[in-house]
């Protein structure tokens, strides 16, 4: 069943979604993720699916909400300003306990920003985004193959916990072409039934899906139920990669595209005999705090690198708890840091700290 093809990240994402048994896409065009909806527009009708272009991101996420309530796998993708517009819907979806997978191909912000790749939506993705006490599972691949591998996992987590799962990508991953292998093709009809879904009250009592309770005590209870679910997700669903960390004295922390860039930095520094490694969170929420903390004793210092002015840095520091120096290097506004500038920064810090 395994199939090796040369594909652009944005298209591999769409293909992976279809092969995950999802047949419904609602979205609104925004750069730099348009190849994803365009791929759906071409392919979904051929497999009995639906590509529907909404009048706005606000409408798109609410169409997603409706299809999720009706018990079908459903997906949308957008980029930063569009993702901001979707936050209203995501808050409602989170409270309603319906499974949804969303991709945000992050571009430079704030405001209209630009169309180049960035990681500056980390706070929005991992710390809420919309109103209320809720969490979103955030998965950040760093290669096209990893997109392909993680998309079915995203749907699995969404269905298992009836929750929102977000794929946090950036323009580099969307535009990059790589050889990828697909080893799955899930038939939507083979997916487990969703007895809670809105399908018409035939042979059963009515189903109701709401995201509110006007009684504060009951609403608190709804929030506590959500919290229980998030605790379970934290316990079971953390993902991360350890790259050359066994003997590392200097540890980079980075995710997504930057994580990939850092691998080159690590390899080149290793060639010089410097004991350096990378810790790459794959789930940004739940963040692998304890897993990173395990390296505190062996490390001389940590460097957190991002395409932002330091957002994941806060979680990195929560892991390290100031027990070792933690430095930050970042570029923002759509600038991708180069291995040369990261190495310069690293070597300067090495000299300073020793």
Partner 1 sequence: MEVKTIYKYPDSLEKKVTHYCPGCHHGIIHKLIAELIDEMNLLEKTIIVWPIGCSVLGYEYFKVDSCVAAHGRAPAMATGIKRANPENFVLSYQGDGDLASIGMAEIVHAAARGEKITVVFINNTNYGMTGGQMAPTTLIGQKTTTSPYGRDPKVSGYPIKVAELLSNLEGAAYIARAAVNKPTRITQAKKFLKKAFNAQLKEIGFSLVEFLSACPVQWHMTPLKALERIENELIPYYPLGEFKVKEGVE
Q: Which residues pair with 281 in a beta bridge?
A: 240
Q: How far is CA 210 from CA 13, 17, 213, 300, in A?
A: 31, 27, 8, 51
219 is a site residue for partner 1 (CB under 8 A): no
110 is a site residue for partner 1 (CB under 8 A): no
55 is a site residue for partner 1 (CB under 8 A): yes
201 is a site residue for partner 1 (CB under 8 A): yes
Helix (H) or strand (E) holding 148: helix 144-161
Question: Which of the 8 DSSP states describes residue 190?
Answer: G
Determine the distance from the C-alpha atom of residue 218 to the mean position of all C-alpha atoms in its chain, rounded to a whole number. 31
Binds partner 1 by CB under 8 A, chosen from 12, 16, 22, 74? 74
Q: How far is CA 170 from CA 33, 85, 158, 276, 332, in A?
A: 9, 18, 21, 26, 12
Nearest 5 degrees, angle CA 262-CA 265-CA 267?
110
Q: Which residues pair with 137 in a beta bridge?
A: 165
Binding mask 156-195 for partner 1 (x = CB under 8 A): ----------------------------------------
The minimum distance between CB 57 and partner 1, in angstroms, equals 11
Binds partner 1 by CB under 8 A, chosen from 41, 70, 219, 296? 70
- Give the residue with the Cβ less far from partner 1, 130 or 256: 130
56 is a site residue for partner 1 (CB under 8 A): yes
User: Which range of residues in 1-9, 64-72, 109-117, 328-336 is near partner 1 by CB under 8 A?
Assistant: 64-72
Binds partner 1 by CB under 8 A, chosen from 20, 36, 62, 143? 62
Binds partner 1 by CB under 8 A, chosen from 15, 20, 24, 252? 24
136 neighbors 166 (Cβ within 8 angstroms): yes
- Give the residue with the Cβ less far from partner 1, 26 or 155: 26
- 155 phi and psi angles, rounded to 5 deg: -65, -40
- Give the residue with the Cβ less far from partner 1, 108 or 129: 129
Q: How far is CA 190 from CA 67, 102, 187, 200, in A?
A: 18, 22, 5, 21
Q: Is 330 left (phi over 0), alpha (psi -120 to 50) or beta?
A: beta
User: Which range of residues in 1-9, 121-129, 201-209, 219-227 is near partner 1 by CB under 8 A?
Assistant: 201-209
The minimum distance between CB 76 and partner 1, in angstroms, equals 10
107 is a site residue for partner 1 (CB under 8 A): no
- Give the residue with the Cβ less far from partner 1, 202 or 351: 202
The minimum distance between CB 146 and partner 1, in angstroms, equals 29
- 86 phi and psi angles, rounded to 5 deg: -80, -10
Residue numbers at the binding site for partner 1 (CB under 8 A): 24, 26, 50, 52, 54-56, 58-60, 62-72, 74, 88-89, 92, 96, 198-203, 206-212
């Amino acid at each position: 069943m395994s199939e090796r093809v040369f594909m652009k990240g944005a298209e591999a994402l769409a293909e992976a979604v279809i092969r995950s048994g999802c047949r419904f896409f609602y979205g609104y065009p925004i750069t730099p993720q348009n190849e994803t909806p365009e791929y759906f527009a071409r392919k979904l009708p051929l497999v009995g699916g639906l590509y529907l272009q909404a009048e706005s991101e606000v409408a798109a996420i609410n169409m997603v909400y409706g299809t999720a309530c009706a018990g079908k796998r459903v997906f949308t993708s957008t980029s930063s300003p569009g993702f901001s517009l979707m936050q209203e819907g995501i808050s409602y979806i989170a409270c309603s306990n319906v499974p949804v997978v969303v991709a945000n191909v992050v571009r430079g912000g704030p405001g209209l920003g630009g169309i180049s790749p960035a990681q500056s939506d980390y706070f929005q993705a991992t710390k809420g985004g919309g109103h209320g006490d809720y969490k979103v599972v955030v998965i950040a691949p760093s290669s096209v193959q990893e997109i392909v591998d993680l998309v079915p996992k995203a749907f699995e987590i969404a269905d298992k916990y009836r929750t929102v799962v977000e794929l946090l990508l950036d323009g580099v991953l969307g535009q990059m072409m790589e050889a990828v292998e697909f080893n799955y093709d899930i038939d939507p009809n083979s997916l487990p039934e969703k007895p809670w879904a809105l399908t018409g009250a035939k042979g059963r009592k009515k189903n109701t899906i709401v995201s509110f309770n006007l009684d504060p005590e009951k609403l608190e209870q709804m929030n506590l139920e959500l919290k229980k679910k998030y605790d379970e997700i934290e316990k079971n669903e953390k993902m991360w990669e350890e790259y050359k960390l066994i003997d590392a004295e200097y540890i980079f922390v980075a995710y997504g595209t930057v994580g990939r860039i850092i691998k080159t930095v690590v390899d080149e520094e290793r060639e010089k005999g410097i004991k350096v490694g990378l810790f790459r969170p794959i789930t940004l929420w739940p963040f692998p705090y304890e897993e990173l903390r395990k390296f505190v004793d062996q490390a001389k210092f940590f460097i957190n690198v991002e395409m932002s002015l330091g957002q994941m840095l806060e979680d990195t520091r929560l892991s390290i708890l100031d027990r070792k120096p933690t430095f930050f290097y970042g570029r923002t506004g759509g600038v991708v840091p180069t291995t040369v500038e990261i190495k310069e920064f690293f070597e300067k810090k090495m000299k300073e700290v020793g």
